A = this chain, B = another copy of it.
Amino acid sequence: MSISPFGPARASVTEMPLSKDEIEKTHKYFQASMYLCLGMIYLKDNPLLKEPLKVQHLKARLLGHWGSDAGQSFTYIHFNRLIKKYDIDAIFVSGPGHGAPAVLANSYLEGVYSEVYPSMSEDEEGMRRFFKQFSFPGGIGSHATPETPGSLHEGGELGYSISHAFGTVFDHPDLITLTMVGDGEAETGPLATSWHSTKFLNPITDGAVLPVLHLNGYKINNPTLLARISHEELEALFHGYGWTPYFVEGSDYESMHQAMAATLEKCVVEIRGYQKKARDSGKAFRPRWPMIVLRTPKGWTGPRKLKNHYLEGFWRSHQVPIPDARTNEESLKTLEQWMRSYKPEELFGKEGTLTPALKTLAPEGLRRMSANPVANGGILRRKLHIPDFRTYEIDVREAGVTEAGSMMRFATFLREIVRRNQEHFRVFGPDETESNKLSAIYDAGKKVWMGDYFDEDADGGNLAYAGRVMEILSEHTCEGWLEGYILSGRHGFLNSYEPFIHIIDSMVNQHCKWLEKCLEVEWRVKVASLNILLTATVWRQDHNGFTHQDPGFLDVVANKSPEVVRIYLPPDGNCLLSVGDHCLRSSNYVNVIVADKQDHLQYLNMEEAIAHCTKGLGIWSWASNDQGAEPDVVMACCGDVPTHESLAATALLREKLPDLKIRFVNVVDLFKLIPEKQHPHGLSDREYKAIFTDDKPVIFNFHSYPWLIHRLTYKRAGQHNLHVRGYKEKGNIDTPLELAIRNETDRFSLAIDAIDRMPHLGNKAAAAREDLLNQQIAAKNYAFHEGVDPDYLRKWTWPHH
């Protein structure tokens, strides 16, 4: 049977490290934080309650979350003692970021908030402003938003606190990231698997995460699962996840202060002990790291009941605890009594400044968790040492003749980056790095693995206690680790199968939002870009079929703010190198690179590739025959497989209709297509017209869903001449050609499409069309009988007319 959150502390650790005086002071500090939380939710005036509380002191709209504030603040404050005692480098990750008042209150109490925002000074007027701005137009949000000093995790969308926290401590050996995990959040899938992160944490080179699972008991309107199972099951669960859970449960202040102080200290001592053992011996191992299960009543320190309804210890305390304080006299009174019960005059004096006796409880300088530069990682970001990508050039003497593996070459470039940046660069991926042909990286940094080892692992397992590649079959955990790693000042990138990147649509969405808001926060220093390399793309899924065909992540990314997103589709290996180099040097973006992992025709030598990628799109004159004239048709493409088919279509057209003037255009940087006013990379209308014309048919072969191109170009003159082909959700375990034919992106369909757009061409074109159709049918039949595309299609090269 589950345990009640009420009563004297029940705790695994029974030491009592605090003196009576320390308990009293700590409790006052705690009360000060609670007072501030209520102030933020309710007050726009009368911050110290010097006057009787009136409706006009309240905000017109009451917003904010009270439920988890007490537990979070309680934890924060008790860790402060240990930071001082053990000189700990620590940050605080608030999983229930909705309980931002707790985080904000502590930043204000330790003085950081006023240093960062001088108008919110440590006095009555500053406190008034501090209260009013919370969840108020023109003010700050009600989560641990980017405006919050010490926050690198907003907690708006739940599920990522533990993976973010682990990201912050990799390669930060001295850091302890104290991480509150809400018991609501703990029900999400991403959080449920992220507990396994300890199997990837090296006690020599990495710091430690100290999770505090807050058994607050309730979500918005429901009990939480983990608060309603037996102690035995709960303990077993975390034991099974590989942790040592210590319990602190109850509501009685005095005993709870003792228990929390003792338990947190036990954890710190254990963490340091494991680290010392590993570091002294030079032998890494996986300890059962300590964690805390903190069970307190939801809305702790509030009234137990309101008008016969439970408040403290029930879900009714989730948000604004007394919602009708503006309209009900009695409720207003209750609120006033409650606020006064914290005795603000004793805590903040007449001036509204925390009393000096309490002030000393907080750590000093950068040891204050809300002042730690790790949480403003851009400050710590060191330059990535990148070799000259030009030296990895794929030798391309003649365009469209050489075949080579773009991805395998790119891997050698990455390998050198890994080699040169052993302390601040990692590669992340959900068990696909080798499948994605990036295994060259392992030469410079193996896969981190703190699980058990078997003999077989020596047979190409590429596992090591200390490595640079992080692989777990959880896109969520990979992305969460990478975000935490970047936000705390390092560099990295994620590689993933294209179809399953949708699994983290929402995480990427939230990261984009975080980055965008950071641009509005003056003191935030830019962090490294989050680089996502997508491969195993839609066009080569003869192996896995329809479930593995979805290039729509680009649509999700394209909806995000132009300030923070970039999308690149390099057509060949040298372009991939150029684009990759650019992305790794950039900051504050989410860069998405789409490139196939199979062998491909190569088109541009390095010099040409750099020029092409710098422009972002351009006419390939060697494939065009409209020099010095207006073209009859523009064959455009974006993406490596589509480029290949567009070129083949162009070759077919030029062979069959040699008089036709064809312009061949390739797009690398997708946002070049948007008008310049809408995206910093966008072309002007004049530039756009110079490339695509405004009156000629454009047959545009696109990697992803075709409508994205229309969405980007709908304002362009001549857009009614733009005929986009792309993936139209038609597929199976098709050969590459069959799949292309289903979606009309194959060479034959493209060439036929071009002919159909030029009805003036007459009979000769009709004959060519007939030919193309027959060739298409023959190729399809061949595939159907033999199980592969005909040789001449697989080994096609540009004919160099």
Contact = CB atoms under 8 A, between A and B. Distances in A.
A733 interface: yes
A714 B476 CA distance: 35
Interface stretch (A206-214, A393-401, A497-505, A574-582): A497-505
A441 B446 CA distance: 54
Given A238-B240, A239-B236, A710-B710, A459 B309 contact: yes
Given A2-B454, A548-B156, A239 B229 contact: no
Given A193-B192, A452-B1, A548-B156, A61 B143 contact: no
Given A233-B242, A787-B137, A222 B447 contact: yes
Contacts of A729: 513, 516, 559-561
Contacts of A561: 729
Interface in A131-171: 135-143, 145, 154, 156-159
Interface string A696-718: 00000000010110111010000
B143 A459 contact: no
Interface in A76-107: 98
Contacts of A517: 546
Nearest to A555: B555
A432 B194 CA distance: 24
A687 to B, nearest CB: 20
Contacts of A224: 473
Interface string A305-327: 00001100110000000000000
Contacts of A714: 707, 710-711, 714, 719
A365 interface: no
Interface in A191-234: 191-194, 196, 199, 219-225, 228-230, 233-234
A156 B547 contact: yes
Given A314-B459, A734-B137, A556 B221 contact: no
A544 interface: yes
Contacts of A708: 711
A480 to B, nearest CB: 10
A187 B239 contact: no
B472 A225 contact: yes
Interface string A459-483: 1110100000001111111000000
A148 to B, nearest CB: 12
A12 to B, nearest CB: 16
B555 A454 contact: no
Count the copies: 2
B506 A503 contact: yes
B187 A189 contact: no
Task: Find the residue from A136, A548, A705 having the highest chain B CB count within 10 A.
Answer: A136
Contacts of A506: 500, 502-503, 505
Contacts of A136: 733, 787
Contacts of A225: 196, 199, 451, 472
Given A137-B735, A556-B502, A711-B710, A187 B463 contact: no
Contacts of A345: none
A431 B184 CA distance: 9
Given A454-B2, A506-B503, A788 B61 contact: yes
Nearest to A240: B237
Contact of A544 (B143, B435, B542, B556): B143
B543 A552 contact: no
A69 interface: no
A151 to B, nearest CB: 13
Contacts of A240: 233-241
Contact of A502 (B220, B476, B505, B547): B505
A732 interface: yes
A796 interface: no
A456 interface: yes
Interface in A1-60: 1-2, 4, 44, 59-60
Interface in A709-755: 710-712, 714, 719, 729, 732-735, 738
A461 B223 contact: yes
Interface residues of A, number: 129
A145 B738 CA distance: 19
A509 B729 CA distance: 11
A454 B585 CA distance: 55
Given A476-B189, A502-B556, A787 B61 contact: yes
A434 interface: yes
B237 A233 contact: no
Nearest to A472: B187
Interface in A416-469: 431-435, 447, 449, 451-454, 456-457, 459-461, 463
A361 interface: no
B509 A156 contact: no
Contacts of A471: 222
A140 B733 CA distance: 7
B500 A157 contact: yes
A552 B513 CA distance: 14
Given A187-B193, A506-B503, A220 B435 contact: yes
Interface in A508-566: 509-510, 513, 516-517, 542-548, 550, 552, 555-556, 558-561
A649 B710 CA distance: 29
Contact of A184 (B159, B309, B473, B477): B473
Given A309-B460, A547-B157, A711-B707, A509 B502 contact: yes
Contact of A143 (B156, B456, B545, B552): B545
A185 interface: yes
Interface string A108-136: 00000000000000000000000000011
A783 interface: yes
A328 interface: no
Given A451-B223, A459-B310, A559 B548 contact: no
Nearest to A154: B547
A233 B194 CA distance: 16
Contacts of A474: 187-189, 192
A63 interface: yes
29 contacts: A141-B732, A142-B544, A145-B545, A156-B544, A157-B503, A158-B473, A184-B431, A184-B473, A185-B473, A188-B189, A188-B474, A188-B476, A189-B192, A220-B435, A222-B473, A228-B452, A228-B454, A236-B236, A309-B459, A310-B456, A310-B459, A314-B456, A502-B509, A505-B556, A509-B550, A513-B729, A559-B707, A707-B714, A714-B719
Given A222-B431, A555-B559, 4 more contacts: A187-B474, A221-B435, A225-B451, A233-B239
**10 nearest A-B residue pairs (beta carbon):** A237-B240, A156-B547, A189-B189, A228-B451, A236-B240, A192-B193, A502-B506, A141-B545, A192-B192, A187-B473
